[in-house]
């Protein structure tokens, strides 16, 4: 632990900013506005006291009935460049409505959500597109926000309105899916109110964990995609909780303005009450170990899936993953203390220059106002020895029981971390790297001429054909065997499938031995860590016609081609209303703009486009 962090923890350095205003660290964000959330939003008739009446949340794509609330929640997001200093280091960023993190999206279960995204990146000539993580987007795949797959990028100077259903209950996030723009600030929280499986008193709202890269995302991508001596590993500089943390400005050597006490996030607890924390890894790369000093957490859901509650001292969250946890407030003398929230980036499966993220919990109003430095003891978490994988699968059992059906299509996917003929890093999935074309989103061709337009191998299409249950066996055990000196190790990869909560049958070190954990009711979620030198076995039912990317959520890995696209029930795509209109709206403006401007797609597109050597 660096001397700087030790000084922060002991109170030798001020924990809270005096050198910078909230406007300078987080722009228009007032994160206290999302710290005490309601049980639901007003606006629709109540039945038995709730907008959803007596409906139970049974997340299952084909059978679940969504409440018909008749309400649309509307948001307007302007994407523009901006300069902020979230951790004290002044940084070129990309911002939603001038703030970092972006505005909270809230809706009741069953509401429609409309977000008009305005691209104001004319000066830096970048497209954009926004993905709403973890929603199934049934019959609205064109609102999934992946450029080159279901839309063209939103061109500078133009708007696009996403309209989708709040089809889940719980916590998630949205982010740019255009290259690695999310790393420069285009992330924000989403909360969907609905029936919960465990009661709580106070909704403390989103707790967003994020590695922080001081460099603009294009510079990081250029470094990890370069060959020879230009190649640079992607080290993160800091670790943020709700967009705040302090930074040791003595490390700055290039003259960038920096203030060492930018300030950390603060939370107010109440004695004896049950607090809901919506913990989300909104980072670019790093695996987070999340703990609260001297407090136990009860995990009630992972991603959008309620699980049988279990108690733990620490959460492991890969990029894109969420856990909703309930934390009981202290009583007696213990409720007069202040406590640390700590999130530590893994040093085994990430490259953090500074892995420690801190935030403070106060019970006393006076301590809160005085910014008292907590003196609490950390949980017994030995960072260096924590494995790069999620909690054991036998701990996480969904409340809505769905047994694992037998698969009628099984695909084994070998992950290879290698470099191409010119020495540029590249991920291969079964010997194929993934890459999209912004001007030719796959959906444009998916309904034409018996799908003959889908012949580009770089689109990496996995056509489910007429199979009902598709099982994917990921094997992450081989480094490029012909070149043992290049990246002679494997990384952890948080595997995210759009449009589904997939069943997680097994993960762990080595090869899969064929055992399904909790076969009668395996864990379901939308993102799961594929461990280094290990396996991940997942399956999904083909009940959501569309084109659904499946990719590693480490920004730099998807940049290097860690991407496939599931073409699901292609013969039913034409039945979806409005998708041609949605495509033509973005593609008309993008085609016009990209004819007049050079698009620097330096990566795969979920990531960007540099001409290949």
List residues binding Cu ion (CB under 5 A): 493, 552, 554, 557
DSSP strand pairing (356-362 vs 265-268): parallel
> Between vectors from CA 348 to CA 342 and to CA 349, what angle results, nearest 5°?
90
Report, in Å, the least distance between residue 493 CB and Cu ion.
3
Instruction: Measure the CA–CA gap between 461 and 464, rounded to whole angstroms.
Output: 9
Instruction: Measure the CA–CA gap between 141 and 9, rounded to whole angstroms.
Output: 46
Q: Choose between 341 and 495: whose C-beta lies nearer to Cu ion.
A: 495
- Quick one: CA dihedral 457, 461, 462, 464, positive or negative? negative
Report, in Å, the least distance between residue 561 CB and Cu ion.
11
CA proximity to 8, closest of 208, 249, 316 = 249
Residue 502 structure tokens: 């997939």
Q: Choose between 146 and 554: whose C-beta lies nearer to Cu ion.
A: 554
Q: 94: part of which helix (H) or strand (E)?
A: strand 91-96
Q: Choose between 121 and 536: whose C-beta lies nearer to Cu ion.
A: 536
Report, in Å, the least distance between residue 319 CB and Cu ion.
9
Q: What is the DSSP string of 174-235?
A: EEE-STTGGGGT-EEEEEEE---SS--SEEEEEEEEEEE--S-HHHHHHHHH--GGG-----
Q: Choose between 388 and 552: whose C-beta lies nearer to Cu ion.
A: 552
Report, in Å, the least distance between residue 388 CB and Cu ion.
11
In terms of C-beta density within 10 A (0-12 exposed, 13-18 middle, 19 or more buried), how is residue 527 classed? buried
Report, in Å, the least distance between residue 552 CB and Cu ion.
3
Give the three-state DSSP class for 135.
Answer: coil
Report, in Å, the least distance between residue 218 CB and Cu ion.
19
Is residue 195 within 8 Å of 55, Cβ to Cβ?
Answer: yes
Instruction: Measure the CA–CA gap between 133 and 144, rounded to whole angstroms.
Output: 8
Q: What is the DSSP string of 28-53?
A: T--GGGGSSB-SS-SSS--BTTBTTT
Q: Choose between 342 and 493: whose C-beta lies nearer to Cu ion.
A: 493
CA proximity to 605, closest of 101, 176, 240 = 176
For residues 300-336, b (16+ Cβ closer than 10 Å) or e, as one string?
A: bbbbbbbbeeeebbbbbbbbbbbbbbbbbbbeeeeee
Report, in Å, the least distance between residue 558 CB and Cu ion.
7
Q: Choose between 413 and 443: whose C-beta lies nearer to Cu ion.
A: 413
Report, in Å, the least distance between residue 285 CB and Cu ion.
8
Q: Choose between 329 and 434: whose C-beta lies nearer to Cu ion.
A: 434
Q: Choose between 268 and 493: whose C-beta lies nearer to Cu ion.
A: 493
Q: Choose between 113 and 564: whose C-beta lies nearer to Cu ion.
A: 564
Contacts with 367 (C-beta within 8 Å, 6 or more apart), sequence order: 338
Is residue 323 within 8 Å of 301, Cβ to Cβ?
Answer: yes
Report, in Å, the least distance between residue 133 CB and Cu ion.
16
Q: Choose between 275 and 557: whose C-beta lies nearer to Cu ion.
A: 557
CA proximity to 135, closest of 295, 300, 320 = 320
Report, in Å, the least distance between residue 573 CB and Cu ion.
29
């Amino acid at each position: 632990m660096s001397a700087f962090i030790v000084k922060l923890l002991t109170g030798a350095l001020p924990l809270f900013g005096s050198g910078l205003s909230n406007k300078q660290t987080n722009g228009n964000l007032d994160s206290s506005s999302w710290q005490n959330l309601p049980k639901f939003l007003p606006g629709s008739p109540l039945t038995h006291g709730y907008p959803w009446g007596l409906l139970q949340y049974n997340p299952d794509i084909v059978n679940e009935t969504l409440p018909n609330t008749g309400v649309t929640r509307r948001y307007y997001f302007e994407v523009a460049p901006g300069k902020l200093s979230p951790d004290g280091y002044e940084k070129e960023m990309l911002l939603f409505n001038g703030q970092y993190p972006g505005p909270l999206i809230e809706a009741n279960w069953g509401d429609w959500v409309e977000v008009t995204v305005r691209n104001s990146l004319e000066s830096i000539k970048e497209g954009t597109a926004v993905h709403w993580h973890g929603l199934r987007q049934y019959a609205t795949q064109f609102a999934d926000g992946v450029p080159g797959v279901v839309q063209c990028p939103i061109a500078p100077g133009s708007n696009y309105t996403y309209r989708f259903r709040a089809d889940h209950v719980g916590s998630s996030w949205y982010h740019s899916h255009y290259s690695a723009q999310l790393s420069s600030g285009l992330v924000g929280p989403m909360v969907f109110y609905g029936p919960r499986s465990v009661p709580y008193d106070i909704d403390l709202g989103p707790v967003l964990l994020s590695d922080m890269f001081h460099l603009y995302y294009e510079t990081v991508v250029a470094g990890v995609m370069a060959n020879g001596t230009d190649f640079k590993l992607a080290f993160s500089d800091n670790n943020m909780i709700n967009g705040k943390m302090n930074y040791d400005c003595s490390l700055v050597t290039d003259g960038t303005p920096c203030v060492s006490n930018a300030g950390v996030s603060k939370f107010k607890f109440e004695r004896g009450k049950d607090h809901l924390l919506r913990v989300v890894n909104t980072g670019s790369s790093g695996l987070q170990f999340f703990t609260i000093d001297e407090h136990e957490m009860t995990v009630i859901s992972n991603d959008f899936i309620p699980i049988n509650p279990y108690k733990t001292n620490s959460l492991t969250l890969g990029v894109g993953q969420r856990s909703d946890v309930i934390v009981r407030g202290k009583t007696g003398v213990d409720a007069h203390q202040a406590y640390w929230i700590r999130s530590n980036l893994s040093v085994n499966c990430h490259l953090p220059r500074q892995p420690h993220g801190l935030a403070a919990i106060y019970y006393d109003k006076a301590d809160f106002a005085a910014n008292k430095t907590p003196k609490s003891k950390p949980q017994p978490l030995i960072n260096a020895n924590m494995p790069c994988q999620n909690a054991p699968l036998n701990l996480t059992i969904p409340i809505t029981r769905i047994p694992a059906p037998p698969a009628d299509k099984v695909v084994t996917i070998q992950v290879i971390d290698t470099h191409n003929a010119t020495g540029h890093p590249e991920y291969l999935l079964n010997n194929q790297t993934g890459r999209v074309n912004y001007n030719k989103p796959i959906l444009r061709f998916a309904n034409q001429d018996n799908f003959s337009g889908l012949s580009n191998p770089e689109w990496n299409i996995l056509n489910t054909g007429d199979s009902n249950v598709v099982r994917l066996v990921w094997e992450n055990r081989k480094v490029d065997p012909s070149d043992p000196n290049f990246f002679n190790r494997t990384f952890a990869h948080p595997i995210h499938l759009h449009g589904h909560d997939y069943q997680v049958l097994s993960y762990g070190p080595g090869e899969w031995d064929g055992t399904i954990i909790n076969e009668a009711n395996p864990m379901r979620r939308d993102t799961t860590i594929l461990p280094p030198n290990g396996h991940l076995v997942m399956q999904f039912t083909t009940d959501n016609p569309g084109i659904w990317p499946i990719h590693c959520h480490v920004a730099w890995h998807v940049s290097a081609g860690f991407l496939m696209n599931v073409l699901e029930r292609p013969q039913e795509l034409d039945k979806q209303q409005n998708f041609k209109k949605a495509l033509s709206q973005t593609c008309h403006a993008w085609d016009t703009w990209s004819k007049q401007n050079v698009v620097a797609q330096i990566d795969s597109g979920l990531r960007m486009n540099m001409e290949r050597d």
